[in-house]
């Protein structure tokens, strides 16, 4: 077996097709941080890049460490994965993953005094999930927490007094969505049972959280077209969730459920675009939709689960 380190093997370990969905969550956090707050354009750009790179490194590190901790299991269940197949050595995976995590969390910790604690919490959740996810059924709470922390860190990096009345909606929505995906995917190689089916319908509700935020929190963008675009983005997200549910119900669960999971995760940028539109930030919303396109482009070649 070759010991070379092809780019494709690393991109597979990194689950690179999911990375754009993390960036869109950062953009949503930035939009919340900017709400009723004026910040210099250059400072905003610098903070967005700092947090975006920090979050991306932390997320990708979690993916690498996930495969590193799962090496023995994958050797039996998925021997073609890069580590058990020998394309990436276990030692190098551990070193690269650990290094990326330290750099990523460090970048987030220095972004703002308000992000320091949140960055440490994110780091702990990432490591705890990678260690425990194959040992505890409740570990999905950790991965859901990781996703919920992304917009929180981004918002507080931009504005130390970010609006919790908005941020709580987005964080809870992200937590609920990823928790439901995790439950539905837990036995993805076996089948799509009753619990997984029920969890998949929770996704439909979680997808509509931006609308609830808009209605309950009294967010009022200064352009009716933004509201229409926000609702349109929600429609895209709901459509993707429904496509995933139909796919997961196929006759070959071992093949269909992983595809459905990837489709569900791919709906996240559309939800984020809706939030940005409803907050009156069309440029950030357009970038989120761009992340949707990038994720869908990458997915056929690099599996997200």
pLDDT above 90 coverage of the chain, percent: 61
* Residues 240 and 264 sit within 8 Å (Cβ to Cβ): yes
pLDDT of residue 124: 97
Mean of pLDDT over the chain? 89
More confident residue, 53 or 79: 53
> Residues 261, 262, 263, 267: is their CA dihedral positive or negative?
positive
pLDDT above 70 coverage of the chain, percent: 94
Question: C-alpha dihedral over 15, 19, 21, 24, to 10 degrees?
Answer: 180
* Residues 302 and 12 sit within 8 Å (Cβ to Cβ): yes
pTM: 0.91
Name, in order, each residue with C-beta under 8 angstroms of 255's C-beta and a sequence gap of 6 or more: none
pLDDT of residue 292: 96
The closest of 121, 112, 195, 214 to 154, measured between CA atoms, is 112
**Domains of the chain, earliest start first:** 7-298 (1.10.357.140)
Mean per-residue pLDDT, 102-129:
96
pLDDT of residue 2: 42
pLDDT-based confidence at 19, cuts 50/70/90? Answer: very high
Name, in order, each residue with C-beta under 8 angstroms of 106's C-beta and a sequence gap of 6 or more: 54
Name, in order, each residue with C-beta under 8 angstroms of 224's C-beta and a sequence gap of 6 or more: none
Q: How far apart are CA 39 and CA 42, in angstroms?
A: 9
Is residue 88 over pLDDT 90? no
Q: How many Cα atoms occupy the beta-carbon half-sphere of 167 within 13 Å?
A: 25
Is residue 54 over pLDDT 80? yes
| Residue whose tokens read 């995906």 | 181
More confident residue, 96 or 301: 96
pLDDT-based confidence at 189, cuts 50/70/90? Answer: low
pLDDT of residue 283: 95
Mean per-residue pLDDT, 158-175:
94
More confident residue, 98 or 74: 98
Q: Where are the extended beta strands (E) located within 24-124?
A: none
The closest of 176, 126, 123, 124 to 148, measured between CA atoms, is 176
* Residues 5 and 92 sit within 8 Å (Cβ to Cβ): yes
pLDDT of residue 187: 59
Of the listed ranges 137-141, 249-253, 293-297, the least confidently predicted one is 249-253
Is residue 245 over pLDDT 70? yes
More confident residue, 280 or 5: 280
Is residue 250 over pLDDT 80? no
């Amino acid at each position: 077996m070759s010991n070379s380190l092809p780019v494709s093997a690393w991109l597979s370990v990194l689950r690179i097709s999911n990375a754009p969905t993390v960036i869109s969550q950062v953009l949503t956090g930035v939009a919340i941080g900017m709400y009723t707050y004026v910040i210099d354009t250059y400072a905003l750009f610098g903070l967005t890049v700092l947090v975006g790179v920090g979050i991306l490194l932390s997320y990708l590190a979690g993916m690498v460490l996930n495969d590193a901790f799962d090496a023995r299991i994958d050797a039996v269940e998925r021997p073609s994965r890069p580590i058990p197949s020998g394309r990436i050595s276990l030692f190098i995976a551990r070193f690269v993953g650990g290094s990326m995590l330290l750099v990523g969390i460090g970048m987030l910790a220095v972004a703002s005094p308000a992000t320091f604690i949140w960055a440490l919490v994110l780091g702990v959740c990432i490591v705890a999930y990678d260690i425990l996810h194959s040992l505890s059924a409740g570990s999905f709470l950790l991965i859901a927490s990781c996703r919920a922390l992304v917009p929180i860190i981004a918002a507080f990096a931009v504005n130390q007094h970010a609006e919790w009345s908005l941020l709580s909606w987005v964080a809870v929505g992200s937590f609920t969505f990823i928790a439901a995906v995790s439950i539905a995917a837990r036995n993805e190689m076996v089948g799509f049972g009753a619990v997984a089916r029920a969890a998949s319908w929770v996704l439909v509700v979680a997808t509509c959280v931006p609308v609830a935020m808009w209605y309950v929190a009294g967010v009022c963008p200064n352009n009716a077209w933004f509201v229409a675009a926000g609702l349109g983005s929600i429609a895209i997200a709901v459509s993707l969730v429904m496509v995933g549910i139909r796919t997961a119900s196929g006759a070959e669960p071992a093949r269909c459920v992983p595809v459905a999971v990837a489709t569900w995760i791919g709906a996240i940028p559309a939800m984020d675009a809706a939030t940005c539109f409803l907050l009156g930030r069309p440029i950030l919303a357009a970038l989120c939709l761009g992340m949707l396109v990038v994720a869908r482009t990458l997915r056929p070649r690099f599996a997200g689960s």
